[in-house]
Structure 1
Amino acid sequence: MKFALQSLLNSCIRQGSLALELPNGERLEAGDGTGLPLTIMFADRRAGRELFLNPELAFGELYTDGRLRVSGGSIYDVLELLGHNLDALSPPQLGRVRHALRTAFDGWRQRNSERLARHNVHHHYDIDDRIYSLFLDSDRQYSCGYFESQKETLEEAQLAKKRHIAAKLLVPDGASVLDIGSGWGGLALYLSDVCGAEVTGLTLSPEQLKVSERRASERKLGDHVHFHLQDYRALDRSFDRVVSVGMFEHVGARDYDTFFGVVRRSLKDDGIALLHSIGRLDGKSPTNPWFEKYIFPGSHVPSLAEVLPSIEKSGLIVTDIEILRLHYADTLAAWRTRFLSHRAEAEAVLDDRFCRMWEFYLASAEAGFRYGGLMVFQIQLARKLDTVPRTRNYIGAEETRLRQIEQAKAAYPVAAE
């Protein structure tokens, strides 16, 4: 096993420095000696075998269980080092076979039924609600921020994201808006408060529903924003605008036709829809097995090639596509910093194992957006060709108008100059 681990290490690290310390004290080293002197330490002999046989799953499991420790830096430093070496990565043949099998199996997954969808949402979003307050912004935006400059705070970037989405939706006063996957209600409340919309939000999380309804009441928007514990497939109304942020990743590839069929059915003839989702820059690939098992069961991150055929089949028209590069990496970096600064509080709420799992989740996701081919796409949709202006100039003009409304209300953070 020693020689197998050395081979794995050599295949992964060409630049930088990484050592494996085995339980018997032996050290295996790889790299050119530059950078942080990072060391991974195994707590038992089985850990090395598990990592070699299934590194994509075992790396996160071993760290979560405390059987893999890091010295000389953090787990993010190790993941960043691996990211820097991706271009030279030469995975063992076993890893290629495993990846091919997972890709093939991914196409045969069961459909994401309403019951399964509720179970998957419950797994992630119905943990102790205090955890999310430790690392999210005050509006609890649990999706990619929009960093208009490197000076912006997380609060400003999340406000800019809502503004950017609202600008693309061109929401008129009094418009009816459907928010599919409304989370803790932040976007719905913004669209009502700033744009004057009548918003219907859908969630499958009882915890998120309680928080959303409370926030609407506190903001005195309860007559204009209504949240429901409801699957999107049960909709039977039409709206002026439809938006979905950070939910599409949970739909499942086999249900894309259904999803866009519902969007088209729910959108009035002159309506505008916007989809904001994590995507892949490098083509179709199965979900990382550790994320699938511990963080987002039933999720799938698509390439645009997987999404666009279902849009075309639905009869919707793609009127704009924007790719957000690195914005989510910066968002996750801010979340990770906040979470680690409140780690003791998180451990008191749940336990040390959860904290290690959550740190690995945030760190590996950030590395994925910096080095692993992940991005965020925003697709604007319509039923008619002339629904939105011919050029994109209206987006900046609308953002300026919305920013003035925010400033007049004095309830939103002012961006740094």
Structure 2
Amino acid sequence: MKGNEYAIFESMLSSADIKINGSRPWDIQVNDVAMFDRILADGSLGLGESYMEKMWECKDIAELINRILAFELDKHLDLRTKMILGAKIGKDKIKKFFNPQGTTISKHNVAFHYDIGNDLYRAMLDKRMTYTCGYWKNADNLDNAQEAKLDLICRKLGLKPGMRVLDIGCGWGSLMIYAAEKYGVVCDGLTLSEEQAKLGTQMVEEKQLPVNFILRDYRLYEPETKYDRVVSVGMLEHVGSSNYRDFFTCADKFLNQDGVFLLHSIGTFESTETNDPWIHKYIFPNGEIPSLAQLATAMEPEFNMEDLHNIGEDYDHTLCAWYRNFDKAWQQGDLNYNEKFYRMWKYYLLSCAGAFRCRELSVWQMVLTKVGTPKPASARSK
């Protein structure tokens, strides 16, 4: 690596109060200076891969990423270096020729992440297997934060005994099981993950609850009757901007005229049609984070937005709690994965925590109703 390139990184990092081989938890410890060439060549993909390959270490990856993103380090570089660090390969042009979240590809995308092993998720998640942002307002541990989030959703939906609820992208069924237990509703859940449906069905059968898992893409689902409530928690990130309109059209089709739709999704402040290259390659293939502008356009003309709640800062706490559980299980030898997987998963959890910590990402809960219907009591000011 050339000395001037090293100097660029040293200056860039120091401006965010990050030192190379410094003594603080968020400082980078360099094992191989070739990491800088990797980052220059591949940007965020090179940063993540060089960590997986042990080229660098950091005691507090979440805070490191927080500082990198919060200070917008790329904006402090000259134009030539910006082009090297942030060069794109024409993803937007490629996307014009196929739908990266089509019905066939979506099943593969889901299996890539969610079918890698229930043992990993059992070790990492809360007791209810909830793989979305918790609600930490009055919680001091992961189990309580996730139950608080589930109850918050149920209250916003205004659930009452006997209601029929559809969960689009239901995961292992944590929300459906909670809603059936606590609010007496009947739930159907759509998922493309065979492993999630298998384990979720086992949990439902043990509790003998009126909860049903359906292995089907939301675009191919034709219910016999409409639902009183529709909910989707942490699934929209897999839908893709080219499919947002279809997503809301389907939600409208599934919902009774006087029903309520609650959408819980990660969100970003800028409309894009791309994903972080490292996240795309190793964690969520073809994932996209929506903006409010994209969602507002896509929901026209079916829905009114009755309530918008941002709990994005809580995802920092959730991701760090997941990492602690994951790391504990790894250290105890409870997980059958190699060290490279461990470093990949650690980087995923903690780098994402940093993105939420610096407010680069948000988590929105939207309460939506069909145009022309009265505002539900559950969506009125609290």
- Look up the match of 2:135: 146
The letter of the residue matching 2:131 is Y
- Are residues 95 and 101 of structure 1, via their aligned partners in 2, closer, same or farther at CA, if it must alter by over 3 Å? farther
Distance 1:102 1:132 in 2: 35
The letter of the residue matching 1:205 is S
- Look up the match of 1:117: 106
Distance 2:175 2:347 in 1: 28
User: Which of residues 126, 142, 162 in structure 2 aligns to 1:137?
Assistant: 126
- Look up the match of 1:382: 369
Partner SS state of residue 270, structure 1: strand
- Look up the match of 1:192: 180
- Are residues 356 and 347 of structure 1, via their aligned partners in 2, closer, same or farther at CA, if it must alter by over 3 Å? farther
- Look up the match of 1:286: 274
- Equivalent positions of 1:266-345 (< 5 A) are 266-284=254-272, 286-313=274-301, 315-345=302-332
- Are residues 277 and 204 of structure 1, via their aligned partners in 2, closer, same or farther at CA, if it must alter by over 3 Å? same
Partner SS state of residue 136, structure 2: coil
- Equivalent positions of 1:77-92 (< 5 A) are 77-86=63-72, 89-92=75-78
Contact 1:178–1:242 (Cα < 8 Å) also in 2: yes
Give the RMSD, CA atoms, in angstroms: 2.5
- Look up the match of 2:216: 230
The letter of the residue matching 1:113 is G
Distance 1:209 1:59 in 2: 35
- Look up the match of 1:51: 39
Distance 2:375 2:282 in 1: 41
Partner SS state of residue 7, structure 1: helix
- Look up the match of 1:415: none
Partner SS state of residue 268, structure 1: strand
- Are residues 188 and 41 of structure 1, via their aligned partners in 2, closer, same or farther at CA, if it must alter by over 3 Å? same
Partner SS state of residue 48, structure 1: helix
Structure 1 residue 132: Cα displacement:
0.9
Structure 1 residue 35: Cα displacement:
4.9
Partner SS state of residue 339, structure 1: helix
Distance 2:374 2:204 in 1: 31
Structure 1 residue 135: Cα displacement:
1.5
Partner SS state of residue 219, structure 2: helix
- Are residues 168 and 302 of structure 1, via their aligned partners in 2, closer, same or farther at CA, if it must alter by over 3 Å? same
Structure 1 residue 96: Cα displacement:
4.9
Contact 2:91–2:274 (Cα < 8 Å) also in 1: yes
- Are residues 348 and 211 of structure 1, via their aligned partners in 2, closer, same or farther at CA, if it must alter by over 3 Å? closer
The letter of the residue matching 1:156 is N
- Are residues 48 and 200 of structure 1, via their aligned partners in 2, closer, same or farther at CA, if it must alter by over 3 Å? same
Structure 1 residue 74: Cα displacement:
3.7
Partner SS state of residue 19, structure 1: coil
- Look up the match of 1:245: 233
- Look up the match of 2:208: 220
Distance 2:106 2:94 in 1: 17
Structure 2 gap segments, 5+ residues each:
none
Contact 1:181–1:246 (Cα < 8 Å) also in 2: yes
The letter of the residue matching 2:128 is D
Could you list the runs of 4 or more consecutive aligned residues of structure 1 that deviate by over 4 angstroms after TM superposition?
A: 33-37, 99-107, 345-348, 390-394
Does 1:257 pair with 2:245? yes
- Are residues 348 and 208 of structure 1, via their aligned partners in 2, closer, same or farther at CA, if it must alter by over 3 Å? closer
The letter of the residue matching 1:365 is C
Structure 1 residue 79: Cα displacement:
2.4
Of residues 189-198 and 86-95 in structure 1, the stretch that sits farther from structure 2 once superposed is 86-95
Distance 1:99 1:52 in 2: 10
Contact 2:311–2:362 (Cα < 8 Å) also in 1: yes
- Are residues 55 and 349 of structure 1, via their aligned partners in 2, closer, same or farther at CA, if it must alter by over 3 Å? same
Distance 2:156 2:5 in 1: 52
Q: Percent identity?
A: 30
- Look up the match of 1:172: 160
- Equivalent positions of 1:363-382 (< 5 A) are 363-382=350-369
- Equivalent positions of 1:69-80 (< 5 A) are 69-70=56-57, 73-80=59-66
Structure 1 residue 36: Cα displacement:
4.8
Structure 1 residue 88: Cα displacement:
8.6
Structure 1 residue 78: Cα displacement:
2.9
Number of residue-to-residue matches in the alignment: 376
- Are residues 109 and 219 of structure 1, via their aligned partners in 2, closer, same or farther at CA, if it must alter by over 3 Å? farther
Structure 1 residue 55: Cα displacement:
2.4
- Look up the match of 1:9: 10
Distance 1:306 1:145 in 2: 25
Question: If the length of structure 2 is used for normalisation, what is the TM-score?
Answer: 0.90
Partner SS state of residue 332, structure 1: helix
Structure 1 residue 345: Cα displacement:
4.3
The letter of the residue matching 1:380 is V
The letter of the residue matching 2:45 is L
- Look up the match of 1:404: none
Partner SS state of residue 312, structure 1: coil
Distance 1:121 1:136 in 2: 18
Distance 1:293 1:251 in 2: 17
Contact 1:146–1:327 (Cα < 8 Å) also in 2: yes
Of residues 261-270 and 34-43 in structure 1, the stretch that sits farther from structure 2 once superposed is 34-43
Partner SS state of residue 135, structure 2: coil
Structure 1 residue 350: Cα displacement:
1.0
Distance 2:362 2:119 in 1: 28
Structure 1 gap segments, 5+ residues each:
21-32, 397-417
